[in-house]
Structure 1
């Protein structure tokens, strides 16, 4: 007769014989040239004082030392492991994670998540830039130029929870007209002089609600509800203005959440709806995401930041300011693609005495035959510096008419000179030259053109060619590794602070893997890839 064993939680009591073959010391199981040894060595000497200050002096000590927890998280991100539950499993089964724990108990997923989102959120940036300064001290950074680029990554948010600024403004304006009508009737019936202005509409509605509540209390108004019951005048007005106040509070919340944006996401208010490069449906669908900006030097990511802008133009200046402050030195030159070109960027770089290697937005168009044959373009017109006039295809002069000032989204003010043709009446080339009913006009910023020409000459030089080639290899290659090799396509956390924490952990893991690869391939100290000579 077969004897059945009752199942229980402790499987070791089933009694099968087991011969221990693994060494009790894990030191011999980790190869001498494994990247985990380099990671532990590089992170060991960092200053963790800010991280330890995040813990309370009262209460019990953490189950796992914070320094060890940081090593585990960094190594997990360098090995494409991002989920707290998968990190927990790795700590129990992976030898490298056990080696990092050094005999400490493996943390569970809630401990890992609590450490990542709570204790590490405000200190990870300091640890990342300590690592960058360590690379500088070892001579791994050229400190010659920084390659800057950005990409959009999807946020951990529902793609159907968008709020649009124009829509909110439209409905708020419609409600404001109804409020004005209701206030007029209320003043007439209660003999009051209430006013609701656009600037203080919420406070004004609150005053009206307080007044009606006081009237209801003095007149002992009985509130009725249900079908077939007639509401009193006081109840009708009180309920009406309470609805106005409730809706206005929601509109105020939306307005505060926009933060100079045209939209935001309800499930992650810091995320902005933007077009992603991965458009599988090919319908230009908008998804909630963040604009990730990184700066690369000698194949290492030396700076990383998160922006809510859909355009890269407005990110360059704040990114450079933050990078200089965190890294501790200023790069003599900046290399970026045409998406960062603006007069504000050129002006800032000139003030900081940084040489721009920024490709003009029309760089590729200038090479096309269709552009060279377009008589409406300023580039294809003659220019007289003495008289400051342009000569069109028909031989007529476009003279300066007036100068107007423009203010950008960031507050930068530029001067634009408006040129107008002397007379376009009866011109045989007018249809090809302009769509205006009157004379043709040109809107030109002389300062911008002068600075663009300087950057254009820089990128055409021998050094500029070297920098442009390395920019496409180093910074775009870094994004290719992060998004494809590391399979990091979507953030796991919500909120700008936590999203920045994730990208910093990812960049730190990338840098340590890059340092490991350079050491193993004997490429330490190399900074730029040489330009291949054509036969």
Structure 2
């Protein structure tokens, strides 16, 4: 192939409007108010001790500084770029990414993926996140007066049909235990043995029986056979059956450890719990593996994040606030949340923590309706006498305290519930509207919960409470809207 004049031409000459010699000074090409400068300035002030600690002191040095890699990842996410290959391409072509690299060679997609999986652990991410929150506090962007809390369910990246249910595990375990008892009784009867098994030590008990059976196999010089037309000995059948039961029991034990307080999990993501989602791909209310993501917002900044496997929000409030207080070192004055967080335990926690509760009662919207106000069966529509501790129904009959119950929540909190019973419902003309019970009307009331709910209800009715409730829907739900739009959820 002959070399033409076009191939010989020097494209680095300063004439004919051709390309200048690289590299150029990128500093002059990026505007002063560009978001990449703000991000770099903010992340430069953080302490990356935990991130560098994740790296081994032995071995070759990383091609790109871990701090710069974190800047690259953070800026890529802010630009809705999540794929490691697309981040690699941006580092090679985008001026802002080149500016962040500070002369380092663009990392390949494998390096980016390894950095995210191996070095950006939950502990490192959480540490860097709360450092940014403290930075905002030092800049007086956060005053720690009002915090708005809400949650949403985000579907996990897991197979929708690999579910494991707690009830099914316990049911199958019980059926299998009955079969094992029957099998062990046959072994004892035919061999004059006295093997015993218990649910608590089932695996160890099976191991003892298997050990004896294997020793009998050696003594009797029994050879195991397999395949069609070959007859197995009883020893071989017993060993195979017990081995299968042992394997199944070990799986049941493993599943129960995963469950803890949950009722389900996914085989492809054991941290995910099956939950009802607002949008369902089959439009039939099917349960899907998901996480309950909680955020706390202050002045339109996300100041707290928590990922939980609880299907409801009640049990997430206390650990969320405790973790924030531990990481930030500050305590919010006013806590604003919707009715999904209302519980006696949460009310008492906020009170003991010297925080004012602005939690909307679960019956807040019902209280406004005329049908609720006219419902004579509701406790709120009965007269209460604190001195005698009695309620008076619409037929002027007394509901007297009959007993006290104690209920324990999933978190271990124990509440006291007072049971009131009507003195006599016989021949009451209003009984059909008051109760469906055949005998006297009974009513259960948690006095502490009623008292704390009343306080929170009065708080949200104040001028400040009204403003905070309006702000909650704007701030925290707006933040979720932006996040879901960015991730296309």
TM-score by length of 1: 0.87
* Map of 1:40 onto structure 2: 40
Structure 2 residue 126 is the aligned partner of structure 1 residue 100: no
| Cα gap change, 1:13 to 1:415, in 2 (>3 Å) | farther
* Map of 1:53 onto structure 2: 53
* Map of 2:146 onto structure 1: 145
Cα distance in structure 2, aligned partners of 1:59 and 1:387: 78
2:152/2:292 contact within 8 Å kept? yes
Pairing 1:258-277 to 2, within 5 Å after superposition:
258-277=259-278
2:11/2:19 contact within 8 Å kept? no
Cα distance in structure 1, aligned partners of 2:180 and 2:373: 58
Shift of 1:281: 3.3
Cα distance in structure 1, aligned partners of 2:229 and 2:464: 85
Structure 2 residue 207 is the aligned partner of structure 1 residue 206: yes
Aligned partner of residue 225 in structure 2, secondary structure:
coil
Cα distance in structure 1, aligned partners of 2:420 and 2:77: 56
* Map of 1:312 onto structure 2: 313
Range 246-255 or range 176-185, more displaced: 246-255
Cα distance in structure 2, aligned partners of 1:429 and 1:16: 102
* Map of 1:111 onto structure 2: 111
Aligned partner of residue 63 in structure 1, secondary structure:
coil
Pairing 1:487-502 to 2, within 5 Å after superposition:
487-489=487-489
Query: Which string of whole-angstrom CA distances, capped at 9 and with x for unpartnered residues, describes residues 39-63 of structure 1?
Result: 0011111111111111111111001
* Map of 2:26 onto structure 1: 26
Cα distance in structure 2, aligned partners of 1:65 and 1:215: 64
Query: Which string of whole-angstrom CA distances, capped at 9 and with x for unpartnered residues, describes residues 357-410 of structure 1?
Result: 111010011001111111111111111122111111222111100111111100
Range 452-461 or range 248-257, more displaced: 248-257
Aligned partner of residue 123 in structure 1, secondary structure:
helix
| Cα gap change, 1:14 to 1:213, in 2 (>3 Å) | farther
Cα distance in structure 1, aligned partners of 2:217 and 2:127: 58
Query: Which string of whole-angstrom CA distances, capped at 9 and with x for unpartnered residues, describes residues 460-487 of structure 1?
Result: 1111112111111111110011112x13
* Map of 1:425 onto structure 2: 426
Shift of 1:488: 4.6
Structure 1 regions of 5+ residues with no counterpart?
A: 6-11, 490-535
Shift of 1:308: 0.4
| Cα gap change, 1:90 to 1:14, in 2 (>3 Å) | farther
Shift of 1:13: 7.9
Shift of 1:259: 2.3
Cα distance in structure 2, aligned partners of 1:206 and 1:371: 63
Structure 2 residue 69 is the aligned partner of structure 1 residue 73: no
* Map of 1:194 onto structure 2: 195
* Map of 1:381 onto structure 2: 382
Cα distance in structure 2, aligned partners of 1:350 and 1:328: 19
Query: Which string of whole-angstrom CA distances, capped at 9 and with x for unpartnered residues, describes residues 53-101 of structure 1?
Result: 1111111100110000000111111111112122112111211111111
* Map of 2:398 onto structure 1: 397
Cα distance in structure 2, aligned partners of 1:447 and 1:82: 48
Question: How many matched pairs?
Answer: 480
TM-score by length of 2: 0.95
* Map of 1:90 onto structure 2: 90
Cα distance in structure 2, aligned partners of 1:16 and 1:25: 22
Structure 2 residue 300 is the aligned partner of structure 1 residue 290: no
Aligned partner of residue 150 in structure 2, secondary structure:
strand
Cα distance in structure 1, aligned partners of 2:160 and 2:282: 14
Cα distance in structure 1, aligned partners of 2:8 and 2:391: 94
* Map of 2:184 onto structure 1: 183
Cα distance in structure 2, aligned partners of 1:268 and 1:293: 19
Pairing 1:499-518 to 2, within 5 Å after superposition:
none
* Map of 1:226 onto structure 2: 227
Shift of 1:111: 0.8
| Cα gap change, 1:16 to 1:200, in 2 (>3 Å) | farther
Cα distance in structure 2, aligned partners of 1:136 and 1:325: 15
Shift of 1:455: 0.6
Shift of 1:28: 1.7
Aligned partner of residue 487 in structure 2, secondary structure:
coil
Pairing 1:401-416 to 2, within 5 Å after superposition:
401-416=402-417
Shift of 1:263: 0.3
Q: CA RMSD in A?
A: 1.8
Cα distance in structure 2, aligned partners of 1:15 and 1:411: 80
* Map of 1:323 onto structure 2: 324
Query: Which string of whole-angstrom CA distances, capped at 9 and with x for unpartnered residues, describes residues 139-197 of structure 1?
Result: 00021121111111111111111111111111111111111111111111122211111
* Map of 2:15 onto structure 1: none
Cα distance in structure 2, aligned partners of 1:431 and 1:210: 67
